[in-house]
Amino acid sequence: MTELINFVTVSLILVGIGIYGLVVKRNAIRMIFAIEIIANAANLNLIAFSRYLGDIQGQIFALFAIAIAAAEVAVGLAIIIIAYRLYKDIDVAAYKFLRG
Amino acid sequence: MIDISSTPIIIIILLGSVGLAIPIIDAYKKEKGKNKNKLFSAITFGTLMLALLIVISRVIGGELLPAMSFGKDVLADDMFGSFFAVSLLIVSIMVSASSWNYMKGISNSASYYSLILLSTIGMILIAYSTDFVMLFIAWELMSIPTYALAAFSKKDPISNEAAIKYFMFGAFSSSILVLAIGFVYAVTGTTNIGDSITILAELSAPNQTADHNLGGVIPISYLAIGLFIAGFGFKMGLVPFHMWLPDAYEGAPTTIGALLAAGTKKAGFAAAIRVIVLGMFAIGLDWSIVLAILAVITMTVGNFGALIQKSVPRMMAYSSVAQAGYMMIGLALAPYASSALDGSLFHILNHAVMKSASFLAIAAVAIALASYSLEKYTGLGRKMPITAIALSISLLALAGVPPLNGFWSKLVLFQSAIDSGTVISWGPYLAIAGLLNSALSLGYYLWIIKKMYLDESGDMSRVKEPKAIICVLVFAIIFMVGFGIWHAPLLEFASISVPSHIDQIAPSFGNITNN
């Protein structure tokens, strides 16, 4: 039980770091990293619970989640590359055509 | 194993094979060098039509499982999923037909239509899925193509900015969903939605507290429900999570704006009804007040936001935030009034048509006049008569003016809110908030209509209207007026798609609702 709580604590700290990064950082790549940290914290959570319950389902779900997160980040990086071509910058504070 | 001839599997095979075949056809026909937009638009339109006919024939044939079945499989071929499949396929058909005109000059038309088809599969599978793993994969299959579609105009900085904002919030919301699913899995030890709901209901039933050490379990499941509301709320456009939405809907190509506003938002509601509504009422009915507060805040913020906009797509984006608030009334009152979820589903189908019609009318204006600004809509009633009449009817339907379909779904929703007053004291206030907001929303809807018909501008000569979009808009007018006059079949379809009483989902609900 204490082992499980250690894993969950680490995962919640990682979620906190991820949300901090998403809110404070203005560099698009850093924001993607922050989202990845949250996604991997969630996966760590799933694997810890799966191990604790002695049930394989959670680990299978974590594998699916990792594969899908990779596809998601590929699309995100492609969008950021287009942004770099348009603005020569990946600072999201520079993107302000849409306001109101 | 799930049956190979069930509706979701047929839809996956049909749409998926065509969606993957389109880029291959494109690669083989490359040497001819001419734009193949029309060919792919026709293929996509035909495929989606075929899928819609299959789903409707299954519904009429009556061979589907009853509303919201939860089996051991990952997909259930039930009425609830079919209802959402019909509404989402209508949206995709309208979008792909309009792209005949709107996407005329683009270079990568093959990937555009392929992504629309793949995203449509994802949206439909969300409504059919009965397992969290399937739900999450369908969620991502819906989301990832729409990130690429939002950024489709590569030379356009506004489209790119919209896509970045949409991607950041979308990816964040899917991470939140994995976290929420993890906590539910921790409490229940299963990823099957039906089983998790039953286990949660058993755990929180008051007479069993002595048997289990529940000290840590109930707070965790509360946390999971909160994370689910946040995760789905990003796509549904509920108010604390709506900040990306006007930017994304305005900046994305307008046909994709229609797909996002009318399609992905509805899929979010499908997931929310399957998971949050049932799961949270298994834990405790106190949660419904949270949804009620979210509903009132969402519709108020959406309507006030729309009042001050100068760009019409942005106004429509805020209006779709407000409409999400009306749909939330049904979710919040689901355990108290039997017709609440019927009203929500009815409004979801109506909103799918109304909102895509208004976005596609905006796309037609953008093609003809190359502007999204409200100032350019002056005198549109003479310049583009069919577009103007379709936009006016869809705006009036969104406001809920009597002879149109939007009126009936709002009537069912507000009626259920008033009926619930005998069970729960705050129920009728939702109807009052909804009525006041409908009146407020007429403020900006009528403003656009006044601009189009009453204001004079210098040049009033007729402009050529794009033909494919006109066909779509005529269909939308027939739908909105026809089902406004004769709304019974849609309402009946909605009411057989949800369980008539919440006890029918899990037997253990009986104990909770009676307490």
Residue that wins the pLDDT comparison between B210 and B292: B292
Taking the C-alpha atoms of residue B434 and residue B423, their distance in angstroms, rounded to an integer, is: 19
Question: Exposed/middle/buried for B435, CB within 10 Å: 0-12, 13-18, 19+?
Answer: middle
Domain membership of residue B439 (yes or no) is: yes
B102-113 b/e (C-beta count within 10 Å ≥ 16 → b): bbeebeebbbbb
pLDDT bracket for residue B508 (50, 70, 90): very low
Taking CB atoms and an 8 Å cutoff, what residues of chain A touch B181? 46, 61
What's the whole-model pTM score?
Answer: 0.92
**B332 is in which domain, residue-wise?**
7-514
Q: Pick from B52, B19, B46: which is nearest to B119 by CA?
A: B19
End-to-end CA distance of chain A: 50
pLDDT above 60 (res B213):
no
Out of A22, A57, A73, the one facing B191 most closely (by C-beta) is A57
Q: How far is CA A23 from the centre of its chain?
A: 13
Torsions phi, psi of B378, nearest 5? -60, 130
pLDDT above 70 (res A99):
no
Kindly report, residue by residue over B271-325, the tens digit of the pLDDT.
Answer: 998 887 777 677 777 778 888 999 999 999 999 999 988 889 999 999 999 999 9
Across A42-69, average pLDDT: 91
Rg (CA), chain B: 22
Yes or no, beta carbons of A100 and B310 under 8 Å apart: yes
ipTM value > 0.90: yes
Contact by Cβ (8 Å): B22, B109: no
pLDDT above 90 (res B196):
no
Contact residues, B window 296-355, toward A, CB-based 8 Å cutoff: 308-311, 314
Taking CB atoms and an 8 Å cutoff, what residues of chain B touch A96? 161
Region for residue B62 given its phi and psi (left: phi exceeds 0; alpha: psi -120 to 50; beta: otherwise): left
Helix H, strand E, coil C: the string for B283-334 is HCCCHHHHHHHHHHHHHHHHHHHHHCCCEHHHHHHHHHHHHHHHHHHHHHCC
Nearest CA in chain A to B139: A68
Yes or no, beta carbons of A95 and B137 under 8 Å apart: no
Taking the C-alpha atoms of residue B124 and residue B142, their distance in angstroms, rounded to an integer, is: 9
Yes or no, beta carbons of A71 and B162 under 8 Å apart: no
Rg (CA), chain A: 17
pLDDT for the residue numbered A76 = 93
Taking CB atoms and an 8 Å cutoff, what residues of chain A touch B251? 97-98
Question: CB atoms < 10 A from the CB of B290, how many?
Answer: 15
Taking the C-alpha atoms of residue B276 and residue B396, their distance in angstroms, rounded to an integer, is: 31
Q: Which two tokens stand for residue B430?
A: 């939702």
pLDDT above 60 (res B505):
no
Amino acid at B242: H
pLDDT above 50 (res B506):
no
Kindly report, residue by residue over B425-482, the tens digit of the pLDDT.
Answer: 888 999 999 999 999 999 899 999 998 888 877 777 888 888 899 999 999 999 999 9
pLDDT for the residue numbered B255 = 92
Nearest CA in chain A to B160: A83
Taking the C-alpha atoms of residue B185 and residue B220, their distance in angstroms, rounded to an integer, is: 10
The top-scoring range by mean pLDDT among B62-71, B110-119, B212-221, B457-466 is B110-119
Mutation for testing the B interface, residue in A61, A87, A89, A92 having most B CBs under 10 Å:
A61
pLDDT for the residue numbered B269 = 92
Taking CB atoms and an 8 Å cutoff, what residues of chain A touch B310? 100
Taking the C-alpha atoms of residue B101 and residue B465, their distance in angstroms, rounded to an integer, is: 10
Kindly report, residue by residue over B51-109, the tens digit of the pLDDT.
Answer: 999 999 988 887 777 777 777 788 888 888 899 999 999 999 999 999 988 877 777 88
pLDDT for the residue numbered A61 = 92
pLDDT above 90 (res A4):
no
Contact residues, B window 231-250, toward A, CB-based 8 Å cutoff: 246-247, 250
Contact by Cβ (8 Å): B315, B246: no
Kindly report, residue by residue over B382-437, the tens digit of the pLDDT.
Answer: 888 899 999 999 999 999 888 889 899 999 999 999 988 888 888 899 999 999 99
pLDDT bracket for residue B509 (50, 70, 90): very low
Contact by Cβ (8 Å): B134, B75: yes
Question: CB atoms < 10 A from the CB of B56, how many?
Answer: 15
pLDDT for the residue numbered B474 = 94
Q: Which two tokens stand for residue B179?
A: 């976290």
Q: Which two tokens stand for residue B417?
A: 């809110």
Q: Whole-number mean pLDDT of chain B? A: 86
Taking the C-alpha atoms of residue B322 and residue B301, their distance in angstroms, rounded to an integer, is: 7
Domain membership of residue B403 (yes or no) is: yes
CA distance A62 to chain B (A): 9
Across A6-28, average pLDDT: 92
Q: Which two tokens stand for residue B419?
A: 């009926």
Whether residue B251 lies within 8 A of chain A, CB to CB, comes out as yes
pLDDT for the residue numbered B2 = 65
Q: Pick from B484, B478, B471: which is nearest to B100 by CA?
A: B471
Whether residue A54 lies within 8 A of chain B, CB to CB, comes out as no
Contact by Cβ (8 Å): B321, B456: no
Domain membership of residue B97 (yes or no) is: yes
Question: Cα dihedral sign for B104, B108, B110, B116?
Answer: negative
Q: Which two tokens stand for residue B351?
A: 């909103």
Torsions phi, psi of B238, nearest 5? -75, 160
Yes or no, beta carbons of A92 and B164 under 8 Å apart: yes
**Above pLDDT 70, what percent of chain B?**
93
pLDDT for the residue numbered B3 = 75
Q: Which domains does chain A have, with CATH numbers?
A: 2-94 (1.10.287.3510)
Q: Whole-number mean pLDDT of chain A? A: 89
Q: Which two tokens stand for residue B392?
A: 């006016």
pLDDT above 60 (res B6):
yes
Residue that wins the pLDDT comparison between A24 and B211: A24
Q: Pick from B143, B84, B162: which is nearest to B327 by CA?
A: B84
CA distance B137 to chain A (A): 8
Yes or no, beta carbons of A75 and B167 under 8 Å apart: yes
Domain membership of residue B272 (yes or no) is: yes
Residue that wins the pLDDT comparison between B31 and B221: B221
Taking CB atoms and an 8 Å cutoff, what residues of chain A touch B169? none
Taking the C-alpha atoms of residue B127 and residue B271, their distance in angstroms, rounded to an integer, is: 6
Helix or strand (DSSP H, E) at B24: helix B7-28
Question: CB atoms < 10 A from the CB of B345, how many?
Answer: 30
Yes or no, beta carbons of A79 and B176 under 8 Å apart: no
| Helix/strand/coil for B131 | strand
Yes or no, beta carbons of B158 and A98 under 8 Å apart: yes
Domain membership of residue B198 (yes or no) is: yes
Taking the C-alpha atoms of residue B347 and residue B356, their distance in angstroms, rounded to an integer, is: 14
pLDDT bracket for residue B221 (50, 70, 90): confident
Contact by Cβ (8 Å): A78, A29: no
The total of structural domains in chain B comes to 1
For B108-117, B370-379, B483-492, which range has the lowest pLDDT when averaged over its residues?
B370-379
Domain membership of residue B1 (yes or no) is: no
pLDDT for the residue numbered B216 = 62
Taking the C-alpha atoms of residue B93 and residue B448, their distance in angstroms, rounded to an integer, is: 26
Taking the C-alpha atoms of residue B367 and residue B100, their distance in angstroms, rounded to an integer, is: 12
Whether residue A78 lies within 8 A of chain B, CB to CB, comes out as yes
Nearest CA in chain A to B162: A98
Mutual orientation of helices B132-150 and A57-87 as an angle, nearest 10°?
10
Residue that wins the pLDDT comparison between B4 and B81: B81
Yes or no, beta carbons of B171 and A18 under 8 Å apart: no
Taking the C-alpha atoms of residue A12 and residue A44, their distance in angstroms, rounded to an integer, is: 10
pLDDT bracket for residue B16 (50, 70, 90): very high
Yes or no, beta carbons of B165 and A15 under 8 Å apart: no
Kindly report, residue by residue over B336-364, the tens digit of the pLDDT.
Answer: 887 888 899 999 999 999 999 999 999 99
Domain membership of residue B2 (yes or no) is: no
For A15-29, B169-183, B334-348, B453-467, which range has the lowest pLDDT when averaged over its residues?
B453-467
pLDDT for the residue numbered B514 = 41
